[in-house]
Amino acid sequence: MRKKNLDTVIIGSGPGGYVAAIRAAQLGQHVTIIEKDNIGGTCLNTGCIPSKSLIAIAKKWADYKKHQQIFPNLDQSSKINMEEFQKLKNKNILKLQRGISHLLDNNRIEIISGEAMFLNNSSLSVTDGSGVSSTFSFNHCIIATGSEPRKLPEFPWGNKILSSSHVLNLQSLPEDIIILGGGYIGIELGCAYANLGVKVTIIEEQEDILLLADQDIRKVLKRQLMKKNIKLISNAIAMDYKEEEQKVKIKVQVKENTLQIEADYLIVSAGRIPRTYALGLDNTDIELSENGFIHVDPSLKTSVPSIFAIGDVVKGPALAHKASYEGKLAAEVISGNYYSVDYKAIPLVVFSDPEIALTGQTEGNENTLESMFQMGANGRALTLNQAEGFIKIFSDKATRHIKGAAIIAPNASEIITEVTVAIEAGWTVDDLALTIHPHPTISEAIMEAAELATGLPIHVPII
């Protein structure tokens, strides 16, 4: 049978793949997406959107509980209805899936359902759900197959051992959970379930949780986790488990001591691995870098110039918006426009409670000035009854240019964009300090942190 030739083929329809597809179609390419599962990838189906749905509901619940004295007549004994929550969450996922499908259709993008595997540098096979394979050649290909949870051989997925995605589908609220891994996903899930009244224990192999953030942020975060009765055990290695009656019992080694902890579920959140192992890459000249990531040049080309790779399969933070950025860029390069990646300001958000957000440079050095404004002096934070945390801005000592920010504060996920834009636009601390910010808002604290850098803070006493 003659192979069908495709112009631009994209493997995977996550935030990397579908965004690349739309941009490539806008630029005049004939685009085909190959997807083995639901449209939208990890982010929409099992990651960002379902987790943020849970986090949002849990936060509302925790806020209501926190203000019980102010609402004495509201029913104090009510509990979250997880079945209803799941219906709402799934409805929103479906709505977004339909939205993406509509956009793909609107841009005349063909979708082939099935699993893609490379046969060589210019063709691939697609096997559908009933095992039927078809072969295609292509002019260009973008690999956007994403990542999946790292499996630990000692803790295979099962009834009581869940991945960070499975735990988002629970139909009833557990009494207690253990989370293996204090990275950003583990911390987000821990805060959400603790806000719903679940007893949470986080086990972390390293000496501290959330090592991607600096010590000041971790200090505030840990204080807040303690207030939620989240138990943190660091320098700890989970050894094995036993399922007994309704519980799963975990043996944990903490230095010389062995602990036994039990809970309804163990959530394994031990990082993610790029989905490159089953793609038939051995049949191509594509080079991998360490840990299975696809090696790409600054224009996202692999070692085969007609094949690109974007998103979680390439190095860098595993984030949806990074995948989408790379998707647009790869589509441009295929269309003959020269672009190379610029990663100087990738915002990273941890949807913990309070939220954490980082962008650009997030650690000081001898050339940077670090100015920190405490949320305790921000009117909006006080009205929200969430005045813990701070905004730290890093600027260049000599030129006063904004270099980065580290924030732990309410709405950090939204306000981080202001600093990201300031970095991209080449603003100085003076520009930020002189920008009129609405009052009372959390974003004012960014202006205040910039004012601190100018040496003329209004709301901080000069010692």
**Gap between the Cα atoms of 137 and 305, Å rounded:** 15
**Of these, 8, 29, 32, 42, which contacts ligand FAD (CB under 6 A)?**
42
If one asks whether residue 89 binds ligand FAD (CB under 6 A), the answer comes out as no
- Residues 367-426 touching ligand FAD, rule: CB under 6 A, are none
Beta carbon of residue 87, minimum distance to ligand FAD (angstroms, whole number): 20
For the chain, report the end-to-end CA distance as a whole number of angstroms.
Answer: 81
The residue (of 318 and 402) whose beta carbon lies closer to ligand FAD is: 318
274 binds ligand FAD (CB under 6 A): no
Rg of the Cα atoms in the chain: 24
Query: Which member of 6, 9, 10, 16 binds ligand FAD (CB under 6 A)?
Result: 16
Residue 455's SS3 state is: coil
41 binds ligand FAD (CB under 6 A): yes
Interface pick for ligand FAD out of 8, 13, 411, 420 (rule CB under 6 A): 13
Does the protein bind ligand FAD through residue 14 (CB under 6 A)?
yes
Structure tokens, 74 = 């509201």
How many CB atoms lie under 10 A from the CB of residue 288? 18
Look at residues 115, 126, 110 and name the one whose alpha carbon lies nearest to residue 25: 110
- Edge-to-edge, what's the strand order for the sheet holding 265-268? 161-163, 265-268, 176-180, 199-203, 231-233
Which region among 75-83, 174-182, 310-318, 433-441 touches ligand FAD (by CB under 6 A)? 310-318
Q: Kindly tell me which of 193 and 351 has the beta carbon lying closer to ligand FAD.
A: 351
Binding mask 129-168 for ligand FAD (x = CB under 6 A): ---------------xxxx----------------xx---
Q: Which of 67, 140, 401, 439 is catalytic?
A: 439
Choice between 38 and 435, CB closer to ligand FAD: 38
- Residues 79 and 85: beta-carbon distance below 8 Å: no
Interface segment toward ligand FAD; rule CB under 6 A; list 79-87, 190-198, 316-324, 375-383: 316-324
How far is residue 274's CA from residue 134's CA, in Å, rounded to a whole number? 25
Which of 7, 37, 208, 430 binds ligand FAD (CB under 6 A)? It is 37
* Residue 116 found at the interface with ligand FAD (CB under 6 A): yes
User: How far is it, in rounded angstroms, from Cα 318 to Cα 305?
Assistant: 24
> Considering the rule CB under 6 A, would residue 304 count as an interface residue with ligand FAD?
no
**Residue 369, both tokens:** 């000035």
Q: Which is nearer to ligand FAD, 346 or 460 (CB)?
A: 346
Residue 26: which residues within 8 A CB-CB, separation 6 or more? 107, 331
Cα(155)–Cα(250) distance, integer angstroms: 10
Unique residue bearing structure tokens 């647009």: 328
Q: Which of 21, 24, 43, 236 lies at the binding interface for ligand FAD (CB under 6 A)?
A: 43
* Residue 47 engages ligand FAD in binding (rule: CB under 6 A): yes
Query: Cα 81 from chain centroid?
Result: 26
Size of the site for ligand FAD (CB under 6 A): 37
Among 121, 139, 127, which Cα is nearest to 24's? 139
Question: Interface with ligand FAD includes 104 (CB under 6 A)?
Answer: no
Which of 154, 156, 179, 183 shows the shortest CA–CA distance to 168? 179
Using CB under 6 A as the binding rule, the residues of this chain from 318 to 337 that contact ligand FAD are 318-321, 323
Q: Give the rounded distance of the alpha carbon of 80 from its chain centre.
A: 25
- Looking at the Cβ atoms of 42 and 122, the one nearer to ligand FAD is 42
CB 198 within 8 A of CB 177: yes
Decide if 67 is catalytic.
Answer: no
CB of 93 to ligand FAD, least distance (A): 13
Pick between residue 145 and residue 411 the one whose CB is nearest to ligand FAD. 145
Determine contact, residues 450/394, Cβ cutoff 8 Å.
no
Adjacent-strand bridge partners of 152: 155
Q: Are 341 and 333 in contact (CB under 8 A)?
A: no
**Span near ligand FAD by CB under 6 A; candidates 73-81, 317-325, 422-430, 441-449:** 317-325
- What's the closest the beta carbon of residue 436 comes to ligand FAD, in angstroms? 30
Q: State in angstroms the smallest separation of the CB of 447 from ligand FAD.
A: 26
Q: Kindly state whether residue 48 participates in binding ligand FAD, applying the rule CB under 6 A.
A: yes
Residue 303, token pair as written in the block: 């070692």
Task: Report the amino acid identity of residue 380.
Answer: R
> Which parts of this chain interact with ligand FAD (CB under 6 A)?
11-17, 34-37, 41-43, 47-48, 51-52, 115-116, 144-147, 164-165, 185, 275, 279, 311-312, 318-321, 323, 351
Residues tagged active-site: 439
